[in-house]
Amino acid sequence: MCGICGAWEHGAARGNIGRELLVSMRDVMTHRGPDDAGELVFDDARGGFGFRRLSIIDLSAAGHQPMHGCTDRVWLVFNGEIYNHTMLREGLEQRGHVYASRTDSETILHLYEERGLDFVHDLEGDYAIAIWDADRERLVLVRDRAGVKPLYFYHRNGRFIFASEIKAILQHPEVTAELNEEALYHYLTFITTPAPQTLFKDIQKLPAGHILTIDRRGEIQIKQYWDALPSATAPSGLSESEHEANILKLLRDSIGKRMMSDVPFGVFLSGGVDSSANVALMSELMTEPVRTFTVGFKDTEELNELDSAHAISQRFATDHHEVMIGRAEMQKFLPELVFHQDEPIADPVCVPLYYVSKLARDSGTIVVQVGEGSDELFAGYDWFRTYLQIEDRFWRHAERAPAAARRAAAAAAKPFVQKILKKRLASELVRRLGANESLFWGGAIVFDETTKARLLSQEARATYNGLSTYDIVRQYQETFATQRPDADAAARMTYLELKLRLPELLLMRVDKITMATSVEARVPFLDHHLIEYAMTLPRELKIKGNSGKHVLKRALESILPHDVLYKPKRGFGAPVREWFRGQEGEELIAQILNSRLRDRKLFDYKFIERLGDEHVREQRDRSAELWCLLNLTVWYERWIA
């Protein structure tokens, strides 16, 4: 894991890129790589790379970057890990490539020299890659299939700048931090910005599974090289037990690959299915205890999973560590949070994630495995079943129906939906049905189109007139419907999660927060072989009765106890509801109401005041909306105001 950055003034007659600029860009990301640093100026000072290294594979100086291949005509900076690099290396050496290190970075270079842009298809791993190809006069950027590693870029006035973090791009004197108001509109719904947008005007992020090339003329091409669509030729005729065996093998292989490290590694353990599976399968491959790390909350015992984590730790004899945090830790970390996130990721889990990451780093553990992706692939959330239930009963019969029929279906759906969902969300879903929009927009929706209209000021509503966040959802839904018209609704929901919430919220929070403590997180449930297999599974293998993740749990029965697999699901959370109550909670709400963001006249602050009042008086839980606005407020004052 590392921090990479660079700039290329592709059309300049004379180069202006110097070491001082590259050092300032790379060193604002020192937390991503405290072990080494490097820089390179190329193309007669028109371009340059910067690099910060977190040493994990080949700790020697041979792993220094920027790195070149067989000649000095191709250079690389790289963030991440290539898990099949030793297998690839064997073939490359047989074909005449000469290595100078044991690093996975060098394999990328040799593979590119041999295969050109097709090199990405051979890689298995999590990565953000930048390559300077002097002979072809082009710069190449790649983001891994699932989007585990972020990569941002800026292109204006003949100048292309990229980095692992936005703050590095902002170090360039020609880049000004300005608010992207269109991205803000979508942030309010998704509590993050959908790729390729960011909350900074003119700064974009490369979508997951995409490759970008820019040539001497400044022409950019961005192409998708991998997609999570279910295979058109999925294996058929397999029994449930055969699927279980295949899933367990894929997961075991994935966890084994992600143990590739020359430094200590461990697991973030909650005691739930996914983290416990990480511990159980990792312990099979180790002769020493697995290092496990758990975070708990002071004064909010109902959110703690310490007992569950202790039980797994004892069962597998792990080297266990835990840390307790409360409101004071949240308030202390909040200013640092918006620095490390670059743009707000309004998930309160970022706070406990930081402290458990710091716990790991303080113990000398540099690499951890986490459980993100399992619930999305195997329909583990309760809302998966709820949305499917509503879709089965109402949506399928109303799709493409005349407007009057859709309105009638919406009216019929309302009492049913209100029984199983919060009143506000129920009203929004009925609105979507009547408007012929998709039912499911994602697993983390805060301000929907209805509540956004109330949140925004009159001036902002006029500015945003005609803009809908459904346009973001629609593009992926239409791709899925066109390419896989026969796939079931559960696969469609998972596909949308793999495009929006997973890469830009869940994985972004994991990357930004673990790297804030110089820890690398690896995500075995999002190995692309496991994703591709899970996407072919029918809904009935994932959901049985009131239980999700059915086939995964059955696959794990041989390694985990029944009570761990089949206890009610408790997600990794944070006591954000309590944080916004009491005197200190009122002070947080006042911070939102008195922000310099208010000067932009984007929001109706009387409406925000009502949200805060309802929450403080415990009339309604408004913590999700308030945390979304607090993150935005603190971010704006740190980066824009």
What's phi and psi for 40, nearest 5 deg?
A: -145, 135
d(CA 270, CA 363): 18
Q: Which of 490, 334, 485 is nearest to 400 (CA)?
A: 485
Please tell me the predicted confidence (pLDDT) of residue 359.
Answer: 97
What's phi and psi for 452, nearest 5 deg?
A: -65, -40
Please tell me the predicted confidence (pLDDT) of residue 494.
Answer: 97
Q: Which of 1, 135, 160 is nearest to 69 (CA)?
A: 135
Q: How far is CA 345 from CA 437, 482, 508, in A?
A: 26, 31, 8
Between CA 219 and CA 222, with CA 220 as vertex, the angle to 5 degrees is 155
What's phi and psi for 323, nearest 5 deg?
A: -135, 145
Please tell me the predicted confidence (pLDDT) of residue 398.
Answer: 63
Sorted by sequence, the CB contacts under 8 Å of residue 490 that are 6+ apart come out as 379, 384, 388, 539, 542, 543
d(CA 186, CA 471): 10
For domain 2-224, the question of CATH label 2.30.30.90 is answered with: no
**SS3 per residue for 395-410:** HHHHCCCCHHHHHHHH
Bridge partner list, 49? 6, 40
Same fold, 2-224 and 240-376+499-566: no
Query: Is residue 159 a contact partner of residue 224, using CB atoms and an 8 Å limit?
Result: no
Query: Is residue 309 a contact partner of residue 273, using CB atoms and an 8 Å limit?
Result: no
The domain segmentation of the chain, as residue ranges, is 2-224, 240-376+499-566, 382-495, 578-639
Would you call 531 helix, strand, or coil by DSSP? helix
What is the pTM assigned to this prediction? Answer: 0.96
Q: What is the CATH number of domain 240-376+499-566?
A: 3.40.50.620
Say how many Å lie between the first and final Cα of the chain, rounded. 32
d(CA 226, CA 419): 40
Please tell me the predicted confidence (pLDDT) of residue 332.
Answer: 93
pLDDT < 70: residue spans in the chain: 1, 234, 395-401, 420-424, 571
What's phi and psi for 61, nearest 5 deg?
A: -65, -15
Beta strands in 57-148 (DSSP E): 67-68, 74-82, 125-133, 138-143
Please tell me the predicted confidence (pLDDT) of residue 411.
Answer: 74
Please tell me the predicted confidence (pLDDT) of residue 336.
Answer: 94
Q: Which of 215, 210, 76 is nearest to 139 (CA)?
A: 215
Can you read off the two tokens belonging to residue 251? 């997961």
d(CA 80, CA 127): 4
